[in-house]
Amino acid sequence: MLRKPDSALVIAGHGSTLNPDSAAPTYDHAETLRRSGLFGEVHCCFWKEEPSFRQVLHLIDRDDIYVVPNFISEGYFTRTVIPREFELDGPVTQRGGRVIKYCDPVGNHPRMTDLLLHRAVEVAPEVDLSQTTLFIVGHGTDLNENSAVAAKREVERIQALGRFGEVRNAYMEEAPLIGNWHEDSAYPNVIVVPFFISDGLHSYEDIPVLLGISGESLGAASVNALEVFKRNPYQLRGRTLYYASAIGTEPLLADLIAEQVAAFDQQYGVINPSAAAAVT
Amino acid sequence: MRDLTRFLSEWLADGGRRIGQVAITPIATGWELRHVDNLGRTDLPVKTSAEDARHLANLDDTGAFRPLKTAPNLPHGWCLQLPDVATVRVALEYFYPAMVGVAFSHRLGKLAPVSLRVTLGRQTGMYRVTQKITDEQARAMVDGFCAGCLKHRLWELEEPNATPAPAVAKAFPLLCQEACNLLVAEARKVVKSTAT
């Protein structure tokens, strides 16, 4: 089992200046991992909130630092923004007696498939999956992000397991549109899982409106907004519809964050800070 | 290895009692944190987990989101009792993210202020356009936007701020080593509004 008492873990999220819940899953996973004691210390940082990517290294005690992006896929933030803001040289950066190890984003972990399955079964525990269409919903038209590619990959993996009647991709802003869910599903039961790292307007409001289970603006983070996940199942358009919160809010994601650290060590070997001190 | 908990312990032992709008008071069971405006209140609900600070710091008195934690709008009406300095440190990371560490780096001479031009110069994507902001626009923006923040700016448009940073005293210094993303986003708005 992974134990890193001499290492710090930094979970790097997007955050938001508008949505009070955007940072919540990142904080939740950090608190879970802090309680686990797997790492000597655990911190968060954000692109849009504080501590920022630029600040976070100042609040860390340890010299051995793993950075795991809490992003759903590789893309602009993981390849450009985070490396630039942390001034990384590559997967391993040695600077000032410290070693900064840049791990793959959590969404790349192969067990994301298990989490999506877990979330789908959890939201619809009594359902005959063979009579169910599972939709994995992405944003679509994301600026140079690969979340759509990642979502398609997950759909193919889940489909290959043969547990669901069918597994389909859908998007908010490009075909196949989630708004056409009733036409694009062949089974009496429908489960919808948003492929996002946090809940926000998309999962509270936009997707529910497109699904037809909410016709009004509820406002992010309000008690009413959270109710949309609690009213399952919805009887709509001749189907039984189950709607889950964003996959990034799944508590088991914390395990995957830790496993990305283990995967880094496996790929690059364990590099300790004393080696960095000898270099700098 | 750094030791920020020890740094914080020494500050508290030297009589440090305030960081931003948070007052810190020694009590029999450890430390008590509350809004500086609520020092005399005896009717405050008591919280006992450092993680409670995350939720206390997230919304202002009107229930609006606080994306900038160093804005002077910390909500009132709470009391947080914590057993030791280590948990106080965790709570302060929620109230004033990174501020203890940034001040520690500054004391060690390891905090390099970054001018606004350098910060904007490395932006890509939707924020690359901020590089077009004029000096006049940038100065007006900083004067206006940063007035709503408790941090002391260590940077100027082209160079470090010549005004010395406040020292670590009874009130803990909140230091800004470079423009935050909120200011960069504001610069984009300024440039875009000029273009239209």
Supply the pLDDT for residue B161: 78
Alpha-carbon distance A27 to A15, whole Å? 10
Q: What is the pLDDT of residues B31-61, one digit of tens each?
A: 999 999 999 999 999 999 999 999 999 999 9
pLDDT band at A141 (very low <50, low <70, confident <90, very high): low
Per-residue pLDDT, A8: 98
What count of other Cβ atoms lies within 10 Å of the Cβ of residue B134? 11
At residue A131, what are phi and psi to the nearest 5 degrees? -110, 30
Return the HEC string of A133-169. EEEEEECCCCCCCCHHHHHHHHHHHHHHHCCCCEEEE
What is the number of CB-based contacts under 8 A between chain A and chain B? 76
Q: Is A59 on the interface with B (CB under 8 A)?
A: yes
Q: Would you say residue A142 has pLDDT above 80?
A: no
- Please give, rounded to a whole number of angstroms, the shortest distance from the CA of A165 to a CA of chain B: 41
Instruction: Give the nearest chain A residue to B106 (CA atoms).
Output: A58
Q: Which residue matches tokens 């309000």?
A: A222
- Nearby residues of B97 by Cβ (< 8 Å), 6 or more positions away: A49, A50, A51, A55, A59, B69
Coil, strand or helix at A69: strand
Work out the minimum CA distance from A51 to partner chain B, whole angstroms: 5
Q: Is residue A145 predicted with pLDDT exceeding 80?
A: no
- Asked if A60's CB is within 8 angstroms of B181's CB, the reply is no
Q: At what angle do helices B135-145 and B181-195 cross, to 10 degrees?
A: 130
Residue A45 corresponds to which amino acid? Answer: C
Calculate mean pLDDT across residues A256-275. 89
Q: Render pLDDT for B139-170 as a digit per residue (tens, 0 to 9).
A: 999 999 999 999 999 999 998 777 778 877 88
**How far B167 CA lies from chain A's nearest CA (Å)?**
17
Which range has the worst mean pLDDT, A28-37, A140-149, A258-267, B112-121? A140-149
Q: Which of A103-112, A135-144, A233-242, B20-29 has the lowest mean pLDDT?
A: A135-144
Q: Which residues contact A267 (CB under 8 A, 6 or more apart)?
A: A91
A143, A46, A78, A22: CA torsion to nearest 10: -50
Instruction: For residue B3, give both structure tokens.
Output: 């030791």
- State the alpha helices, DSSP H only, in A37-169: 76, 82-86, 112-123, 147-161
How far is it between the farthest Cα atoms of chain A? Answer: 68
Query: Pairing relation of β-strands B18-19 and B171-172?
Result: parallel
Mean pLDDT of all residues in A223-233? 80
Q: Is the pLDDT of residue A132 over 70?
A: yes
User: What per-residue confidence (pLDDT) applies to A275?
Assistant: 60
- Predicted confidence at residue A273, as pLDDT, reads 77
Instruction: Please check the confidence at residue A220 and state whether its pLDDT lies above 60.
Output: no
Distances (CA, A) of A279 to A93, A98, A189, B36: 11, 10, 60, 47
B82-129 pLDDT tens trace? 999 999 999 999 999 999 999 999 999 999 999 999 999 999 999 999
ipTM of the modeled complex: 0.95
Instruction: Report the mean per-residue pLDDT for chain A.
Output: 91
Amino acid present at A235: Q
Residues of A with Cβ-Cβ distance to B100 under 8 angstroms:
59
Q: Does the beta-carbon distance from A51 to B124 stay under 8 Å?
A: no
| A78 contacts on B by Cβ (under 8 Å) | none
Which pLDDT score is estimated for A38? 97
Nearest CA in chain B to A76: B125
Q: Which residues of B touch A (CB under 8 A)?
A: 1-5, 51, 54, 58-59, 65, 67-70, 93, 97-98, 100-102, 104-105, 110-111, 114, 122, 124-126, 177-178, 180-182, 185
Classified as helix, coil or strand, A221 is coil
Phi, psi (deg, nearest 5) at residue A19: -100, 115
**A48–B1: do the CB atoms touch at under 8 Å?**
no
Q: Record the tokens describing residue A46, joined without a space.
A: 């954000």
Contacts of B107 in chain A (CB under 8 A): none
